[in-house]
Amino acid sequence: MHSKYLYTMRKFLFFIIFYSCYAVSFSQNVIGNWNGNISVNENKIPIVFHFYNDSLGKINGKWDSPSQHANDLPCGAIDITPDSIHINLPVISGSYKGKLITTDSIAGMWSQRGFQTPLNLARMKNTPAFQPARRPQTPQPPFNYVTENVKYTNADSSIQFGGTFTKPFSTNDKKFPAVLMITGSGKQDRDETIFDHKPFAVIADYLTKHGIAVLRVDDRGMGQTTGDFDTSSSEDFANDVEAGIHYLLSRGEVDAKHIGLIGHSEGGMIAAMVAAQDKNVSFIVMLAGPGVSGLAINDYQNSEQLKKAGIADSIIQKFLLLHHQLIRAVITSTDYDDFKNKVPAIFENWKKSQSDETLQALTIGTDERTIASLQRNYIVFHSKWWRFFLTHNPSDDLEKLSIPVLALNGSKDVQVDAEANLNAINAALKKSQSKNFKTIELPGLNHLFQHCTKCTVEEYGELQETIAPEVLRTVSDWINSVVK
């Protein structure tokens, strides 16, 4: 899924930052390019930030990790005070916090999932200004429909949600079918912004122009929504969707008999979870939603990354044997120390039956270093989100449905395999009471439903297209057909 980057034995780096006790004002312009190095296992890893003003004059940013061939990665929220800067880095579930030392230097810390390392930045001289990528599909005002910034709470008022509600213009009391959009994994804003693409804004714009009201909402801890995202699971996000449904029911212009859910990636799984329990949901659209278990999704994503690194299929299967044992261990462990103590025996038992070729491909130096890496990297799976996702089977929810379902996948999706997941969704719906469902594999499209060339995760940001026009037409036409 597009915002959870998975960890194999050799990947991914964990970063952090150091606070200086000296600072001068950030009234000097931070706009420009900045670089520095972090140290990981005695290696210097360069990091580059690009800060620029967006079309609204707000400071935005990108960052690169050149040695990992990762460029134009999106910065999340950037908060600047007179003497400091705080940058959210959603693609690695991390952040950067620093203080301005001089007009051309920042001292700070880079963090990811509890791991930290110092990162001091220097302004890059004589480098061209960063030019944001063109996103021609992003809707721009004025809009030929009503758009409203809304706020509402859940049942016990413990979380306030911020979102955007759009509806067609109407001169009478006409009621419109409505959809609630559900983001994919990782903390997302209401537009599901990734690499400057705003796919949910594009979908909402198209649907509203075709007679369908749309509610899109910031995730917990993002934008105008409160709550703690990092301690939540898909079950909690399903409860958030319920709050959105109740909000739609409160709006007089919404046709209460025709409220649907559109979920992307993990959001498709959550749509099925909610629809299996809530009779107010009259249809769902799954965009690259999983039909197989989270563990199977995780296996596919890891396998694709290893293939990309040139690892043979036979060795990938050996890796998955170890991977599954470590997953079981971390899910059943009480805490980090409990898991840490299990890892050496798991690794040693696995190693006994492996060839030198496999060990050379998958391990990093000594056994001690490999074990330490496994202990450090796999503890991420102990989180509440991972423990639910890895063990949940979406087919169980799909089999309970009796409403129309549309499931789309791109044939070039490297995050949610189209064939395996559409087949599983189709098989589950055949067992359900739903009489109207479609599963469609769309040729040449990636996980974001872009026409792709390299069809890698890294290419998402290189493409100008946000979402293929045929996807917009298919979803709109299908919804309008089922709400007639």
Least confidently predicted of 120-129, 276-285, 401-410: 120-129
Quickly state the pLDDT bin for 13 (edges 50, 70, 90).
very low
H or E segment and range at residue 74 = strand 70-74
Q: Are 257 and 275 in contact (CB under 8 A)?
A: no
Tokens of 416: 């949610």
Q: What pLDDT does 333 receive?
A: 95
**Residue percentage of the chain with pLDDT more than 90:** 70
Q: How far apart are CA 468 and CA 446, in angstroms?
A: 10
Tokens of 195: 């690499």
Q: What pLDDT does 15 receive?
A: 30
pTM for the model stands at 0.80
**AA letter at 449:** F
Q: How far apart are CA 73 and CA 90, in angstroms?
A: 9
pLDDT, tens digit (0-9, with 9 covering 90-100), for 133-165: 789 999 999 999 999 999 999 999 999 999 999
Q: Please list, residue by residue across 278-288, b when 16 or more beta carbons sit within 10 angstroms of its beta carbon and e when fewer do.
A: eeebbbbbbbb
pLDDT, tens digit (0-9, with 9 covering 90-100), for 91-121: 777 899 999 888 889 999 988 766 788 999 9
Q: Are 467 and 203 in contact (CB under 8 A)?
A: yes
CA distance readout (Å), 46 to 70, 110, 468: 11, 12, 35
Bridge partners (DSSP) of residue 285 are 262, 406
For the cut 70, the answer to whether the pLDDT of residue 22 exceeds it is: no
Max CA separation in the chain (angstroms): 75
Q: How far apart are CA 179 and CA 435, in angstroms?
A: 20
Domains of the chain: 1-132 (2.40.128), 146-293+392-482 (3.40.50.1820), 295-389 (no CATH)
Quickly state the pLDDT bin for 270 (edges 50, 70, 90).
very high
| DSSP string for 338-380 | HHHHHHHHHHHHHHTT--HHHHHHH--SSHHHHHHHHHHHHGG
Helices and strands, number each (H, E), in the chain: 12, 17
Q: How far apart are CA 122 and CA 120, in angstroms?
A: 7
Q: Are 347 and 9 in contact (CB under 8 A)?
A: no
**AA letter at 319:** F
**CA Rg, the chain, in Å?**
23
Q: What pLDDT does 315 receive?
A: 95
